[in-house]
Amino acid sequence: MQESPVAGQDVSCCTDLTSAPLSEERAVELATVFKALGDPIRLRLLSMIASRAGGEVCVCELTPAFDLSQPTISHHLKLLRQAGLIDCERRGTWVYYWLVPETTDKVAAVLTRPAEALT
Amino acid sequence: MQESPVAGQDVSCCTDLTSAPLSEERAVELATVFKALGDPIRLRLLSMIASRAGGEVCVCELTPAFDLSQPTISHHLKLLRQAGLIDCERRGTWVYYWLVPETTDKVAAVLTRPAEALT
């Protein structure tokens, strides 16, 4: 995973919704992540992965929790991965998934009001 | 706006993604809000409303910022409203919109890791 250099960071990356209108570019970037979160199956998959104490979950442990085919689950996992919310690695027969907390932190920050606004 | 009574609140309402897998019911509820956020136009509309110092924005001020028809903007605003992210009131010719911060707070909390997890 490559981090963008600090010097190249857009300051608007860190402002929340209540501070200033979002730029078109930033809105497109954030919408991709929110769209991936906008499905109950994907949210449950993400929470199963995110809440795993060891940090990693085998796809073989995710599938039995749903009344859905393996390809359907794989498709949802792919969308979560494309949005940068999870990452994975194949080891032998199985694929293992883990949370990318930088992405959830980023969208959480957009939705979090500054402390002084909480009354 | 009606608040749910504290006694009736599901404790799982306040846990974040990293604490425990989401219930099906809670995933469906949250997905509705994330789906509404999963569009660049709606995110920009929401940020324009949320960042308004006075707290309210006339629809007549929102439309000129986009190269879209009034009915299209109205449709996006309706989806934000159905998700509980904004509310509105008609006064004379115009409709005025404002943020419902309880909803953004709720989804922010789901995505926010407990402080001890931030390393």
For B79-119, how does the pLDDT look when each residue is reduced to its tens digit (9 = 90+)? 999 999 999 999 999 999 999 999 999 999 999 988 766 65
Nearest to B40 among A28, A38, A43 (CB): A28
Q: How far apart are CA B108 and CA B26, in angstroms?
A: 14
Residue of A nearest to B34 (CA): A38
Chain A CB contacts of B48 below 8 Å: 21
**In the predicted model, is pLDDT for residue B12 greater than 50?**
no
Q: In the predicted model, what is the mean pLDDT of residues B16-33? A: 93
Residue given tokens 């911060």 in the structure block: B101
Q: Which residue of B has its CA nearest to A55?
A: B18
Whole-structure pTM value: 0.86
Max Cα distance, chain A (Å)? 53
Q: Would you list the domain boundaries of chain A?
A: 24-111
Q: Choose among B30, B34, B44: nearest Cβ to A21.
A: B44
Q: What is residue A10's predicted lDDT score, i.e. its pLDDT?
A: 46
Distance, in Å, from the CA atom of B97 to the CA atom of A3, rounded to the nearest integer, reads: 38
SS3 A96: strand
Nearest Cα to B114, choosing from A34, A51, A14? A51
Binning pLDDT at 50, 70 and 90, where does residue A8 land? very low
* Mean pLDDT score, A8-36: 82
* pLDDT given at position B3: 42
Residue B24 at interface with chain A, using a CB cutoff of 8 Å? yes
Domain A24-111 top-level CATH class: mainly alpha
Asked if the model's pLDDT at residue A11 lies above 50, the reply is no
**Three-state secondary-structure class, residue A69:** coil
- Amino acid at the residue B70: Q
**First and final CA of chain A: distance in angstroms?**
39
For A35-56, the pLDDT digits (tens) are: 999 999 999 999 999 999 878 9
- How far is CA B41 from each of CA A22, A43, B68, rounded to the nearest angstrom? 10, 23, 10
CB contact under 8 A, B34 and A34: yes
Q: Where are the alpha helices (DSSP H) in chain A?
A: 24-37, 40-50, 59-62, 70-82, 101-111
pLDDT at A118: 61
Condensed to tens digits (0 to 9), the pLDDT of residues A63-112 reads: 999 999 999 999 999 999 999 999 999 999 999 999 999 999 999 999 99
Distances, alpha carbon A44 to alpha carbons A25, A40, A96, B24, B83, in Å: 28, 6, 16, 7, 19
Closest CA to A35 of A76, A72, A74: A76
Smallest CA–CA separation between A63 and chain B, in Å?
14
Of A21, A99, A108, the CB nearest to B112: A108
Gap from A59 CA to chain B (nearest CA, Å):
15
Please, what sign has the CA dihedral across residues B97, B100, B101, B103?
negative
Nearest to A21 among B36, B48, B105 (CB): B48
